[in-house]
Amino acid sequence: MKRAVVEAPANIALVKYWGKRNEELNLPLNDSLSMTLDLTVKTEVTLSREFDRDEVYVNQRRLSDEEVKEYAGRVMRSIRKVAGDQGLRAVVRSVSTFPESAGLASSAAGMAALVWACNEALGLGLDRKEISKLAREGSGSACRSIFGGFVLWKKGTRNDGSDSYCEELFPPSHWDLVDVIGLVSDSKKKISSREGMKRVRTAPTLDSRLEFVNRTLPKMIESIANRDESSFYELVMRHSNSMHSVIMDSWPPTWYLNDISIKVMEIIYAYGKAAYTFDAGPNPHVITSSSRADEIENLLRDAGARRVIVSKISQGPRTLEV
């Protein structure tokens, strides 16, 4: 019996992943860039040839066999292949410190933790680059949670995914930014990212978004390198708008923002020294310098947020027990 307990972080995309060139391997249409957060998932993995099936508990709830297959099937297949042991089965217990599936990338943290824990428990000795490829197969955005600070996920061009992985561009200490997250809804997202990313293929404006991402990603990296607040905030907001535009342009009709989200967009743009960004949900993430976190928290509460979470930029996964 092999066991490991690890903690892995969520991340917030500043340049968004939305659309796949390969659905099996989660190969994206474009490069993306994120900040690693200090919102974590703690996961215990036990592996043995004695277990008769993979079992997964998320926040004490046991997933059905269908859900296990959907959530962990692909990753466990890859782990068994790397470990050279087709008989291995896993019991996975995962606890998150923030609401599930409300656009807070809890699936990314969970998947990053699962892969990191398997690597540790089985002593596979994979480096972060290889771990990020395995995490990507489980859930695209999870590959960015394998690194800390500012992380680039290179889309790659090969069909087998061997060049689609992440790297750390700048460490957490590079810039004293925070993500001030307003919880405006705890409800499960209505359209999964997987489904939304299929639908985006129907958006007539998708090509112009991809051109925008390719043209502005180097500027985003430069603005981070120079800690250039005004250029950085503008680019972060425009990248959020760009993703939500192609989402609105998808068919059947798809959207994730609500009226509070739209109000926050106005308020934060007017505030000036911060940027809003939204994932596949209505909760605003406001990126700003740590000295302005309290002011932003008040603005979000005034706009209707029921709870506010402030996250610093954090490190990648940590091993707690092997």
Query: Applying CB under 6 A, which residues contact ligand 2P0?
Result: 13, 16-18, 26, 32, 107-108, 139-141, 193-194, 197, 279-280
Residue owning tokens 């005034």: 302
Nearer to ligand 2P0, 280 or 299 (CB): 280
Nearer to ligand 2P0, 24 or 50 (CB): 24
Nearer to ligand 2P0, 31 or 130 (CB): 31
Pairwise CA distance, residues 185 & 178, whole Å: 21
**How far is residue 98 CA from its own chain's centroid?**
14
Nearest distance in Å: CB 174, ligand 2P0: 20
Residue 314 CB coordination number (10 Å) = 19
Nearer to ligand 2P0, 280 or 303 (CB): 280
Instruction: Describe the crossing of helices 229-248 and 259-271 by its angle, rounded to 10 degrees.
Output: 160
Residue 193 CB coordination number (10 Å) = 21
Are residues 242 and 62 in contact, defined by beta-carbon separation less than 8 angstroms?
no
Nearest distance in Å: CB 242, ligand 2P0: 11
- The residue number whose beta carbon is nearest to ligand 2P0 equals 140
Instruction: Report, in angstroms and rounded to the nearest whole number, the Rg of the chain calculated over CA atoms.
Output: 19
Nearer to ligand 2P0, 46 or 283 (CB): 283
Nearest distance in Å: CB 194, ligand 2P0: 4
Nearest distance in Å: CB 36, ligand 2P0: 12
Nearest distance in Å: CB 295, ligand 2P0: 26
Pairwise CA distance, residues 79 & 98, whole Å: 27
- Residue 59: both structure tokens together: 């926040």
- Residue 83: both structure tokens together: 């470990």
